Each structure stands twice: as C-alpha cells, then as structure tokens.
Amino acid sequence: MTLLGDTLRRLIKNKMGVAGLFVVAVLFFVAIFASYLAPYEPDRIDTAHILAPPSQAHYMGTDILGRDVLSRMIHGSGVSLSVGFVAVGISTLIGVILGSLSGYYGGIVDRVVMRFVDIMLCFPTFFLILAVIAFIGPSIWNIMVVIGVTSWMGVTRLVRAEFLSIRERDYVQAAISQGASDARIIFLHILPNAMAPVLVAAPLGVAAAVLVESSLSFLGIGVQPPDPSWGNMLTEGKDNIEIAWWLSVFPGLAIFITVMGYNLLGEAIRDSLDPRLRQ
C-alpha cells in the first residue's frame, strides 16, 4: 500500500478525524452555497421583528435591526473561512520558502533567517496584528494579509528541521554528486518529502486565523458592519446579552465548532502521518 493510501486509511479509521473532516466539509458547503441556503438577505432589515427570539420565521432570531441571525451566520461563514485560508496560504508560502532556504543552505543564510524568526517571535502576535490593523485600517483583505505575514514562523521552523534531516540522506547526496541544480534538489528531492509537518500545521493555522479574525471583529477593527462576521455579531450579542441571548450563543457556537473541527482534523492528520504508529 502506498504512503498516501495508508495515510488516508488511517485518517478514515480515526473517529475524531472523521468528525473534524465532516465539520470542515459542512462549513465549505455552507460557505459556497450561502446565497441559496440563507432564508433572507443578510442585510434585510425588518423593523417589525427587532430582537425577535428564535421562531419558525427566524430560526436563530433577529438582531437589533431585525436582520435574520441565521442568514448572517451563513454568510459570515464565508468571511471567516476566507480569512483563514488566505492567511494560512500566505503564512505557509513564506514559511516554506524561508525554511527551505535556511535548511538547505545553512551557514549565514540559516543564521540570518533564524534570527529573523527569533525577532518576530519576540512580539506578541495578536498585539502586533492589532497595531498593524490600527495603522493601515480595518478591511477583510488587510486582515488576511496581516495575519498571514505575522504567523509564518512556526512553518519556517518545521520546514527547516525537515530540510536539515532530509538533505543528509543518500538520495539527496547522490543528486548533489551528479551535479543537480539547487532548485532541482530543493523542489524535486527534498520539499515533497518535507511537507508532512506543513499538512499538519495548515488546519491548525486555519483554526487560529478564524479565532484571530473573530477577535479583531469583536473588538471593532476587523470586518466592518454591515458585512456579517461571527466576531462582529458577537459584539452585538455582548451589548444585548441580557435580553437577546441568541445573539451571543449562536455565533459563539459557530466559532467553537469551526475551531474544534479544524483542530480535530489537524490532530488526525498528524497521527496518520506519524511513522511510529504505523504497523
């Protein structure tokens, strides 16, 4: 059985991993077909049903403007997942490039990259993001980029460690002795075999990015109203928690389930790729 086939078999046998994969699949489906699944337009104001509790007309109630909470939740899923995936894509790209260069070349390149990583790790990431967003202004694209360019350090360390190990193996040394170019050795011989930790880190990174985006929106410097986001919906819930519990409960549950789903999937991928657990 191939490594990929064995990994998929182990992933499917992991109940928690299957649960996480199911949550992620449902979120993808909801985000893609949000316009068809939402019973109302997310910005549709109904002054006759302001702060209406959950009912058959509004399954998750309405907010302070009479907007349907379920519809805003559905459309907000696309915002949260977009931020997560774009941010992780940026951080992974930066981390893979820097980690590859650091691990392959070593020497002065390794020292410079690692000292840069150490400097970045000295700053509390969330407060760094707060400072940058406050300076350049809140928008969904700014949030994606800022989260991405401030969260690549872990990926860099993972890729560097894999490169340091793999570059000493016989097939890499054989490629070097045959005069293969550095680019060929990095991209064809080492990088494909160094991606396992990145595959584990990616789902966990999406979960972290969703949390950061929700926190920024909750503080009012993330996705700006009237665009729906689970974070800014929580802000409305905080202001009305004594009379409208549903404004806090449903967005909070959505964030919890999303983060839990990606964490379970990441843990299952890690277990599936762990050679110590293979029989």
pLDDT tens-digit map of 173-226: 888 888 888 888 888 888 888 888 888 889 989 999 999 888 888 888 888 878
For 247, the token pair is 């404004």
What pTM value is reported for the model? 0.86
In the chain, what are the domain boundaries? 3-30+74-277
Q: What token pair was written down for 208?
A: 């972290």
pLDDT given for residue 4 in this prediction: 60
Inform me whether the pLDDT recorded for 278 exceeds 60.
Answer: no
Nearest CA-CA partner of 191 in 165, 157, 155, 159: 159
Whole-number pLDDT of residue 15 = 85
pLDDT digits (tens, 9 = 90+) for 206-218: 999 999 888 888 8
131 within 8 A of 116, measured Cβ to Cβ = no
What pLDDT is stored for residue 153 in this prediction? 92
Burial of 60 (0-12, 13-18, 19+ CB in 10 A): buried
Please tell us whether the domain made up of 3-30+74-277 is placed in CATH 3.40.50.720.
no
Q: Which contacts qualify for 95-99: CB closer than 8 Å, 24 or more apart? A: 95/152, 95/153, 95/154, 95/155, 95/156, 95/158, 95/159, 95/198, 96/155, 96/159, 96/191, 96/198, 98/152, 98/156, 98/159, 98/160, 99/155, 99/156, 99/157, 99/158, 99/159, 99/160, 99/162, 99/163
- Bigger pLDDT: 69 vs 46: 69
pLDDT band at residue 1, thresholds of 50, 70 and 90? very low
